[in-house]
Chain A
Amino acid sequence: MSAPLSFQRLILTLHDYWSDRGCLILQPYDMEMGAGTFHPATTLRALGPDPWAAAYVQPSRRPTDGRYGENPNRLGHYYQYQVILKPSPPDLQDLYLGSLTAIGIDPLLHDIRFVEDDWESPTLGAWGLGWEVWCDGMEVTQFTYFQQLGGYDCKPVAGELTYGLERLAMYIQGVDSVYDLAFNDAGVTYGAVFLEYEKQFSAYNFEVAGTDSLSDRFRQASDEAHRCIEAKLPLPAYDQAIKASHIFNTLQARGVISVAERAAYIGRVRDLAKGACASWMEKNGWAA
């Protein structure tokens, strides 16, 4: 095997692989979100009958997972590689395994397994069945067949692959700390790029973020989303739902949401997301 892929080479290889298989290569969505699934290229495009195939990197922000850069495996900001194919092709598993081979994982040397993991996103009103894919006991990908989104049955069903890029890179490069990853082939590490970022954002999310202003902004985003829905503008409405979702995550990191309130917040975000999805369906003239 040649030298293991650097972090950026890993992304480029996946781009090439999925581009060759007919995917649009999109750019990250320019908003803070907890997972690549929130990108409208997944959530909204998974609705309705039109075929769709796209791949992109999405920065994922999970304020509660921040560890001030001290934990070698947990990050408050990391990257997901997201592939969405609608309808789900019959050979999706083989296509996926081909991508592992492309990034240098030999399935006769490493133990690749599909382990049951049903996916559910209460804030998106979505669920699907699939697996977490294990490579030598490590979860490297979430593999899901969407069944419902925004409360609507997926017609047809889309297949979604979410690669955890840092984990995959750590695995391929054989390093024990995410900060030791080779970002490129010229000696720049992941830590050199992102360590300071993790420190500052952990401090911000856990200690500094203004809870009152966050609560205000949650309300504003919520109001804005409703106004957009009324104006039959599902795309801007959905942006506001994404915004509300991230504000909620930050409030959670600040530890100011009680258990009872948590459910209420999730319910409100879900209503926004569902409202945007409903408006999107209507705009496109798709029946539920």
Chain B
Amino acid sequence: MPDFLLELRSEEIPARMQARACADLARLFTEQLTAAGLAAEAIETHATPRRLALIARGLPAETAAVSEELKGPRANAPPQALDGFLRKIGLSSDQLVERDGILFAIVDRPGRPTAALLAEAIPAIVRAFPWPKSMRWGAASASTESPRWVRPLQGIVALFGEEIVNFEIAGIASGAATVGHRFHHPGIITIGGAHDYAEKLRACHVILDATERAAIIVDGARAAAAGLTLVEDEALVAENAGLTEWPIPLLGRFDPAFLDVPAEVIQLTMRTNQKYFGCTDGDGSLAPNFICTANIEATDGGAAIVAGNERVLSARLADAKFFWEQDLKIPLEEQAAKLDQIVFHEKLGTLADKVDRVAKLATWLVEEGIVKPSPLEGEGRVRDAQKTLPAADAADPSSRPSPSGGESASLVDLTTRAVRLCKADLVTQVVGEFPELQGIIGGHLSAAQGEDPRVTAAIRDHYKPVGQGDEVPTAPVTVAVSLADKLDTLTSFFGIEEYPTGSRDPFALRRAMLGAISIILASKLRLPITSMCKDAGLDAGQAAWFLDFLDDRLKVQQREAGVRHDLIDAVSALGGEDDLVRFLARVKALQAFVETTQGRDLLAGYKRAANILKKEGYNSEGEGCEKQLSYTLEPVEAALQTALDSAEPKAQAAIEAENFEEAMAALASLRGPVDAFFENVTVNDPDPAKREARLALLARMRDAVHRMADFSKIEG
């Protein structure tokens, strides 16, 4: 069976869109095949800056003939209905068959040549292609209905076997011709088919496969680094692979004097602005070198390219160095004083106002003992902070007394100091140029002016965690600042009823909530959420929103840890839980239990009891069984009653002691008696007294289980 080759050649496709485009092309093509009843043995897709290609291996030459039965109107339907149906399918009434009073038409569709099908499918795919942004171009764009593509389309190769599949898109006829590398091989090359496509391109300085280009970049960069260590960066490799058809990594250098600038600034300049790789030397510090990825095998071996790139980087680093040196001259207090000039949000005041709120909240967290000094206080952090200090910073602190106070400085003092300075870097020139370095630059400046390392670490890390997988702060000062910052953002925006909706979350409240949850759980902070919301001035409705939002984010956050969302619902349905740590401990104990056989059985027993109660419309709280009984209990009833008498206080005590495993174990003891009860008695006894007593017993069992969680929310 022949292979199909498609190449859609265009002007340069943005690197970031190429992988997604490959996936979309494969998906849309498969959909077209499936709709026609065809399947390929394999589909592969490729992207370079200038082409998007698909190879479908082993396609049948024709689609299969199909016979399809179409359901028509009832045999006794009015004639108009029958006429309509016949018109639609193009048959006459004697060609219909009747079955069970309904008319059916058998429609035979003959097979079609696959090439004809492809000639229709490809233009349809191009029309429907979901580029993140697409454009019109050329004379045809006089109409806004003209074809759209990511950049102007320049050529189409469409070969089924070795035959051209004929169609036209945007005035471009499909054929067998393409071009090689833009500069190494600008002329036309003729492709024979899927079998020689990649090799013909390779002969013309185009590596079709992005994975191969990435490997060439990584290997070449490692080799070019010669003695240095390449700073590995997968996303940067992929980006460079998306910018080149013939990648050639080249090593360049910059003036070591620039290394006075924080390494993060240099790396960001190189990566974001220039797409260069960094290198480190033997002791892991940044080397004054970079690796750029050229797209040509230059006639001089790359000397001019390296020289040009060195000049560009040098100009950029000179800018960065100038900014950094300006920033170093101004103490952070002085910068912080300018925060009253920056609007945080029109309804929420300036950044200075925000800092005031965060200070209050952070102090409260410490004074209430929610964030406690730890015996291990930030040791790891302090070491880290010192390790990453550039030499220029490290030289300074000894000469200046520490404004943060000495060893004995209290957690409150350190926290207050850190909050006061944590946003100051937002008015620095470096952060003005590189907003993504907020916090990091503050940390460097804090270290340079000799702040306590715990304060420095808090300034540096208080935006963390910025996403799932990012490091979660645990040093107490950092925890206090970071958590207070996030909680303030959340309560402030909830207070003005700016809730995230759908895909709209302009103030990144989802991220803030996820961050707050991670910090609370990582340090097991006992934060009373409701009173915190109240102190922040949220009304009851806003606080309810806050708790719902927390619940929602908790599910997202815990999904990765394998915690079931239905169990979170089951616990949160109890209401009144105000403490995230206790909440989650309960959920986890519940999960450990319901995933055992015992747990599943108890759940089954519970559900049976709950169903009966619901069916019988039994609403009272299960206290009926305390009443004097007019009959002697069956042994299984008595056993269940005894089991409840024993389990209830045990479970209650364990829950109060926050020992949820033990509470679960106590409730688990009900499983046997409940099973025996269902096996041996009929709830719906003709004697109303017995029926009433049995329902009451089941209600008591349900209520006992509900001390732990609302089991009706549990799936399965």
Contact = CB atoms under 8 A, between A and B. Distances in A.
A156 B315 contact: no
Contact of B346 (A108, A155, A260): A260
Given A114-B11, A114-B49, A258-B343, A136 B141 contact: no
Nearest to A90: B138
B135 A109 contact: no
B679 interface: no
23 contacts: A49-B142, A71-B322, A74-B319, A87-B141, A89-B138, A92-B152, A108-B184, A109-B298, A111-B298, A116-B14, A129-B133, A130-B151, A136-B305, A136-B312, A137-B276, A137-B309, A137-B312, A138-B309, A145-B135, A145-B152, A147-B136, A156-B136, A156-B141
Contact of B309 (A89, A136, A147): A136
A67 B150 CA distance: 38
A106 B319 CA distance: 29
Nearest to B290: A137
Given A114-B12, A136-B309, A145-B135, A155 B298 contact: no
B136 to A, nearest CB: 5
B300 A111 contact: no
Interface string B672-703: 00000000000000000000000000000000
B305 A73 contact: no
Given A107-B183, A114-B49, A129-B133, A154 B141 contact: yes
A150 B16 CA distance: 29
B431 to A, nearest CB: 15
A223 interface: no
B261 interface: no
Given A108-B298, A157-B135, 15 more contacts: A110-B304, A110-B305, A113-B243, A116-B15, A129-B134, A129-B151, A131-B12, A137-B274, A137-B312, A147-B135, A154-B141, A171-B308, A176-B311, A176-B314, A259-B342
A112 B183 contact: yes
B139 interface: yes
B294 interface: yes
A135 interface: yes
Contacts of A171: 308, 311
A112 B341 CA distance: 43
B313 interface: yes
What are the nearest 4 A-B pairs in CB distance?
A: A136-B308, A116-B14, A114-B12, A137-B309
A118 interface: yes
A115 interface: yes
Contacts of A118: 133
A51 B73 CA distance: 58
A103 B151 CA distance: 26
A129 B625 CA distance: 76
Contact of B315 (A73, A115, A128, A155): A73
Interface in B257-306: 274, 276, 292, 294-296, 298-300, 304-305
A12 B435 CA distance: 41
B597 interface: no
B619 interface: no
B138 A108 contact: no
Contacts of A128: 135
Contacts of B308: 110-111, 135-138, 171
Interface of B: 11-12, 14-16, 49, 133-144, 150-152, 154, 182-184, 243, 274, 276, 292, 294-296, 298-300, 304-305, 307-309, 311-315, 318-319, 322, 341-343, 346
A95 B527 CA distance: 66
B16 A116 contact: yes
Chain B CB within 10 Å, residue with most, of A93, A112, A115, A157: A157
Interface string A62-85: 000000000111100000000000
B353 to A, nearest CB: 15
Contacts of B182: 107
A88 B152 contact: yes
A112 B49 CA distance: 13
A258 B182 CA distance: 47
Contacts of B139: 87, 156
A180 interface: no
Nearest to A93: B11
A125 to B, nearest CB: 17
Contact of B313 (A106, A137, A147, A176): A137
Nearest to B143: A155
A153 B144 contact: yes
A154 B136 CA distance: 9
Contacts of B135: 128-129, 145, 147, 157
A157 B304 contact: no
A167 to B, nearest CB: 10
B137 A88 contact: yes
Contacts of B313: 137
A196 B694 CA distance: 100
Contacts of A155: 141-144
Contacts of A107: 182-183, 296
Contacts of B151: 129-130, 145
Given A108-B296, A135-B308, A157 B12 contact: no
Contact of B299 (A49, A72, A109): A109
Contacts of B309: 136-138
Contact of A113 (B16, B137, B295): B295
B150 to A, nearest CB: 8
A107 B183 CA distance: 7
Contacts of B144: 153, 155
Given A87-B139, A114-B49, A129-B133, A108 B299 contact: yes
A225 B221 CA distance: 57
A222 B295 CA distance: 49
A196 B299 CA distance: 41
Nearest to A158: B141
Contacts of A93: 11
Contacts of A106: 299
B138 A87 contact: yes
Contacts of B295: 111-113
A102 to B, nearest CB: 16
A88 B138 contact: yes
Interface string A153-169: 11111010000000000
A83 to B, nearest CB: 16
Nearest to B343: A259
Contacts of B318: 72-73
Contacts of A115: 12, 243
B305 A157 contact: no
Nearest to A157: B141
Given A73-B315, A129-B151, A157 B138 contact: yes
B137 A145 contact: yes
A155 B308 CA distance: 39
A20 B241 CA distance: 37
A72 B311 CA distance: 12
A72 B315 contact: yes
A245 to B, nearest CB: 23
Given A108-B298, A113-B243, A118-B133, A136 B140 contact: no
A159 B151 CA distance: 12
Contacts of A71: 319, 322
Nearest to A49: B142
Given A88-B152, A111-B298, A260-B346, A138 B312 contact: yes
A259 B341 CA distance: 9
B510 to A, nearest CB: 24
Contacts of A116: 12, 14-16
Nearest to A138: B312
A88 to B, nearest CB: 5
Contact of B296 (A73, A88, A111, A145): A111
Contacts of B15: 116
A281 to B, nearest CB: 15
A64 B142 CA distance: 38
Contacts of A88: 137-138, 141, 152
A239 to B, nearest CB: 28
Contact of A109 (B142, B154, B304): B304
